Amino acid sequence: MKQRFIELAPDAEQKQEERFTIWRAGEAIPFAGADAKAAYQERVTLIKDAIQLKKKPSRIAVCPSAGFFPMQYAGISMYDAMYDYGALKKAVEKYHLDLELDAYNAPTMVSGKALEILDFKLYQWPGHGVAKEREYQFVEDEYMKAGEYYDLIDDPTAFFLNRFFPRIFGALKPFETIPLLPGINEILLVPPFARPFGTEPMKKALTALTQAGEETLGFLAVLGEVGGKVMGRGFPAFSGGFTKAPFDVIGDSLRGTRGVMLDMFRCPDELKEACERLTPIMVKYGVNSCRASGHIMPFIPLHKGADGFLSDEQFQTFYWPTLRKVIIGLVNEGFVPQLFAEGGYNQRLDVISDVPKGKVVWWFDRTDMKKAKEKLGHVACIAGNFPVDLLITGKRDEIRANCKQLIESAGKDGGYIFTTGAGMQGAEPANVKAMVQAAKEYGIYQK
Amino acid sequence: MEELVKALIEMQEAEAIRKAKELLDRGTDPMKLLEACSAAMEGVGSRFEKGEYFLPHLMMAGEMLRQISEMIKPLIKEGKSSKGKSKYLIGTVKGDIHDIGKNIVTFLLHANGFEVKDIGIDQPPENFVEGIKEFQPQIVGMSGLLTLAFDSMKKTVQAIKDAGLRDKVRIMIGGGQCSEQVKEYAGADAYAPDAIAGVKIAKEWTGGK
């Protein structure tokens, strides 16, 4: 079989330029005026220059990760944010228009009603398993059994449709009866294909899915309004698409942390094969979701690859090969993977520096940024990692000092975006403002 | 027995389980077997500290030990005496439902001879207080992955103070975004950056028991 996603494509550079042009043009954005449009384009350019490593930007873009802070800042509960779309809209607007950051963070929220309709089991959310003032939280479990690797490998889509969805969406249990689709290829196979869709349980499931879809359209329309308003005032979105490392798809949501860790000892070959099998799908998912938003940066949160979660050998055997393929696959389509390395990546810096120059953002949480700059600065833009614990517990002076130190060690000569190491939920508003102000002050490059 | 210890330390699950079964079939004292497991866990812990082993190895060690304990359980007539053991109360604080880190620490504490009471996830301060009153631990461990856990930790320490129990226990925190800074904020006595470090601190506090 032909090896894909290994080499950088000759036209990757050109494709990236084209996508930056599309992102910078912001054609679908209802700009408030010529000034707002100019401010938007200037901010895109700051980020572009930091990413491409071709020249030093005029200043460091300040793009902290909002997380659930805007809700708290506006005084609405997590429950309100998931059920009262108008309240969510106001909160997100207030946060962005008050703080004047260099990027817009689309809220990491979904419609609670839609989750209810689908009887979603993968997470608990405010008013549904966790208290109304709390954020949604993942429910660890083995949603895929250890013995199901070959079901996943043979046909990932069938596995999701017939097994995973019925387990994580109570309302979609009848999807268990959908037949294997490549089997439907003859006139006599139409009846076995159509039959399940006529049953009462399936009708109910499809109605639920339609209702969840309608609810979600309403929710997204509100998000579209707030995005249009904030971007229209001159703030480009920080990311605009999503995908994951294949190992994390399995380790987070299918097998769970414990499951995937034991699988590395018990069935390493199946695990590796499953990661490979998911790779082109994760590339495509990132490409499609970015295209839909007209953005260049798919957000890729990395979970199980952190220091401590895997040995170096395990990281290089199970995690990195297919993540690198996803990176190359996206880069070859002109996209800039925004790799959010949660936890520490101090032991991974050498390995993860094997990426094409000026094509990715490595965004760190608890990694030593001085070391990251040394090891990665020549190939990749780094972003991070103002500590959220300091925003929650610290004092103004500490915050300013920390900003200065961070910018001095990570921001030297460009190739750096200022952000936080995690979402800012729980932060003191005065501390957030002090951080933003300090980052803007210290982030101006001398000509 | 040596082969069992070696298999456990080297993560040879099938081999370790086979050896344990063989030993039991031959009439080996189950308590001796448990001692061997304990010795093996020290080996695993020391590889972890040297940076050779990581979380997956701790998970696998826990999994092997669980299987061996299950084999042994029916063979032990009376419950192992818990007299003289140090006691550790652990739970994930209110508002946080994560338990992987907590479970690993619990397993390691068991393997290191602690008597552990795990009160579970999403536990409000009053449950920690009740737990302390009933179980009378020397150490309380508060776990939390989320940044929102910081306030719950602070409130839990305060509740322990208000109940007049603060000088009866030492408190450590761990998980996710915790740090020395958060330890100060919450008013705890220590921050454990990982599970092995947590056990080490607990052993220091209790004089190695």
pLDDT tens by residue, A265-275: 999 999 999 99
**What's phi and psi for B112, nearest 5 deg?**
-100, 15
CA distance linking residue A314 with residue A325, whole number of Å:
17
Contact criterion met (CB < 8 Å) for B147 and A311:
no
Q: How far is CA B54 from CA A382, B61, B176, in A?
A: 26, 11, 16
Question: Which residues of A fall within a CB distance of 8 Å from B150?
Answer: 389, 392-393, 426
Are A262 and B146 a contacting pair at CB < 8 A?
no
Q: How confident is the model at residue B81 (pLDDT cuts 50, 70, 90)?
A: low
**Residue B80 reports pLDDT greater than 60:** no
Tell me the pLDDT tens digit for each residue of A253-302. Answer: 999 999 999 999 999 999 999 999 999 999 999 999 999 989 999 999 99
Name every chain B residue with its beta carbon within 8 A of the beta carbon of A394: 181
Nearest CA in chain B to A427: B147
Using an 8 Å Cβ cutoff, are A4 and A325 in contact?
yes
Q: If you average pLDDT over every residue of chain A, what do you get? A: 96
At residue A438, does pLDDT exceed 60?
yes
ipTM for the assembly: 0.91
Q: How many CB pairs under 8 A join A and B?
A: 87
Chain B: residue whose CA lies nearest to A342: B176
Is A157 exposed, middle or buried, given 0-12, 13-18 or 19+ CB atoms closer than 10 A?
exposed
Grouping H, G, I as helix, E, B as strand and the rest as coil, residue A308 is coil
Is A2's pLDDT higher than 80? no
Instruction: Please answer whether residues A39 and A234 qualify as being in contact, where contact means their C-beta atoms are separated by less than 8 angstroms.
Output: yes
The pLDDT score that the predictor gives to residue B85 is: 87
Asked if A265 and B11 come within 8 Å (Cβ–Cβ), the reply is yes
CB contacts, 8 Å: A140 with chain B: 98-100
Helix (H) or strand (E) holding A362: strand A361-364
Binning pLDDT at 50, 70 and 90, where does residue B96 land? confident
**Residue-wise pLDDT tens digits, B100-152:** 889 889 988 988 889 999 999 999 999 999 999 999 999 999 999 888 889 99
Residue A392: which of B11, B63, B150 has the nearest Cβ? B150
pLDDT tens, residue by residue, A348-396 = 999 999 999 999 999 999 999 999 999 999 999 999 999 999 999 999 9
CB–CB of B181 and A389 under 8 A?
Answer: yes
> Domain B2-75: what homologous superfamily?
Methionine synthase domain (1.10.1240.10)
Q: Using an 8 Å CB-CB cutoff, list chain A residues near B96.
A: 137
pLDDT computed for residue B92 by the predictor: 95
Q: Check A394 against B181: CB less than 8 A apart.
A: yes
Nearest to A388 among B122, B151, B177 (CB): B177
Here the tokens at position A384 are 């991070």
Structure tokens at A6: 């290994």
- Burial label, B133 (beta-carbon count in 10 A; 0-12, 13-18, 19+): exposed
Render pLDDT for A203-245 as a digit per residue (tens, 0 to 9): 999 999 999 999 999 999 999 999 999 999 999 999 999 999 9
Using the 8-state DSSP alphabet, how is residue B120 labeled?
-
Query: Would you say residue B15 has pLDDT above 90?
Result: yes
Question: How close is the nearest chain A Cα to the Cα of B77, in Å?
Answer: 31
The percentage of chain A sitting over the pLDDT mark of 90, rounded to a whole number, equals 98
Q: Find, in chain B, the residue whose alpha carbon is nearest to that of A131.
A: B95
Q: Is A253 within 8 Å of A143 (Cβ atoms)?
A: yes
Please determine, for residue B99, whether its predicted confidence score (pLDDT) is greater than 90.
no
What are the sequence ranges of the domains in chain A? Answer: 78-95+109-234
Mark yes or no for CB contact B97/A129 under 8 Å. yes
A93-120 burial code (b ≥16 CB/10 A, e <16): bebbeebebbbbbbbebbbbbbbbbbeb
pLDDT band at B78 (very low <50, low <70, confident <90, very high): low
Fold of B87-205: Rossmann fold (3.40.50)
CB B59 to CB A258 under 8 A?
yes
Burial class (CB in 10 A: 0-12, 13-18, 19+), A154: exposed
Q: What pLDDT, on a 0 to 100 scale, did the predictor assign at position B204?
A: 94
Give percent of chain A above pLDDT 70: 100
> Mind giving me the DSSP string for B43-98?
HHHHHHHTTS--HHHHHHHHHHHHHHHHHHGGG--SPPP-TT--EEEEEEBTT---
| Pair B188, B172: CB distance under 8 Å | yes
Give the pLDDT of residue B73: 81
State the average pLDDT over residues A50-60: 96
What's the confidence (pLDDT) of residue B208?
A: 66
* Continuous segment of H or E residues that includes residue B136: none
pLDDT tens figures, B61-73: 989 988 998 898 8
Cross-chain CB nearest to B56 (options A131, A314, A388) = A314
Measure CB to CB from residue B179 to each of A264, A310, A389 and give the nearest one. Answer: A389
User: What letter does residue A242 receive in the DSSP assignment?
Assistant: B
Q: Average of pLDDT values for A326-343?
A: 97
Site of tokens 């982030």:
A443
For an interface test with A, give the residue of B44, B106, B123, B147 to mutate (most A CBs within 10 A): B147
What ranges do the domains of chain B cover? 2-75, 87-205
